[in-house]
């Protein structure tokens, strides 16, 4: 049975001079999550933001903050993101010891997510999946926004969705990278129920209208 579909606008594509205003707009039009990409310049070839920005975001919204930690050593920073107000802390399976980080997230009373890059097989998630609240399939190489979705990643989502259903696991399945109105139905049909969209929303001069267009598609599935 398909779960409620949620939209997670990614602030990586937002106008940071108007960040609070844009967050309030997407919230008003129906977004439920807010995706925050945190990059260290080592695990991925880019640097973005950290806990201080999440603290500021927390003060202006009640949206679920999904902090995607693209960090070489996420365990060092888990408590910083807990204190900053992240609701979901999402680490990568490709880091040295994801199990320890997942335990630290759960011990801090937050939801735990595990992310896999396009080249990482779905099976990398299986040893941890029963502890997870969310599995994130990257459909582009992490580090930069505005890329095209890699079609092969849809099959990986299908594999994970099937595994989750067959084993009766209560975890959401999220996809991030190159998702637009033109292809979001394919993503949903692959079993994904948390949709990350950055350029498709904040690249639009009217982010609220972009959110409404996504929400109309979600409603057509009759489960929202």
Residue-wise pLDDT for 4-30, tens only, equals 999 999 999 999 999 999 999 999 999
The answer to whether residue 224 sits within a structural domain is: no
Label each residue of 142-205 as H, E or C.
Answer: CCCCCCCCCCHHHHHHHHHHHHHHHCCCCCEEEEECCCCCCCHHHHHHCCCCEEEECHHHHCCC
Mean pLDDT of the chain: 94
Instruction: Count the domains in the chain.
Output: 1
The answer to whether residue 15 sits within a structural domain is: yes
The catalytic residue among 66, 133, 172, 176 is 176
The answer to whether residue 1 sits within a structural domain is: no
Which residue in 128, 42, 29 sits closest to 77, CA to CA? 42
The answer to whether residue 134 sits within a structural domain is: yes
Clarify whether 97 is annotated catalytic.
no
The answer to whether residue 82 sits within a structural domain is: yes
- How far is Cα 89 from Cα 20, in angstroms, rounded to an integer? 21
pLDDT band for 223, please (50, 70, 90 cuts).
low
The answer to whether residue 190 sits within a structural domain is: yes
Domain of 58, CATH number, reads 3.20.20.70
pLDDT per residue as tens digits for the range 25-55: 999 999 999 999 998 877 776 778 889 999 9
> Which residue segment(s) compose the domain that 164 sits in?
6-219
Clarify whether 176 is annotated catalytic.
yes
The catalytic residue among 15, 37, 97, 216 is 37
């Amino acid at each position: 049975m398909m779960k409620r579909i949620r939209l997670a606008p990614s602030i990586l594509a937002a106008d940071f001079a108007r960040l609070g205003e844009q967050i309030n707009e997407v919230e008003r039009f129906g977004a439920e999550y807010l995706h925050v990409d945190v990059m260290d310049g080592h695990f991925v070839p880019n640097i973005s933001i950290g806990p201080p920005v999440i603290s500021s975001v927390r003060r202006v919204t009640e949206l679920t903050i999904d902090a995607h930690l693209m960090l070489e050593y996420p365990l060092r920073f888990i408590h910083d993101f807990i204190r900053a107000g992240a609701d979901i802390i999402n680490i990568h399976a490709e880091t040295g010891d994801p199990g320890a980080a997942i335990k630290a997230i759960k011990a801090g009373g937050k939801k735990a997510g595990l992310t896999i890059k396009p080249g990482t097989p779905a099976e990398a998630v299986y040893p941890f999946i029963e502890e997870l609240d969310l599995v994130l399939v990257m459909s582009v190489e992490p580090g930069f926004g505005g890329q095209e979705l890699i079609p092969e990643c849809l099959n990986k989502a299908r594999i994970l969705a099937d595994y989750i259903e067959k084993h009766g696991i209560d975890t959401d399945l999220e996809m991030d990278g190159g998702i637009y109105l033109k292809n979001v139905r394919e993503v949903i049909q692959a079993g994904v129920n948390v949709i990350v969209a950055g350029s498709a929303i904040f690249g639009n001069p009217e982010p609220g209208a972009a959110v409404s267009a996504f929400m109309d598609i979600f409603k057509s599935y009759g489960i929202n």
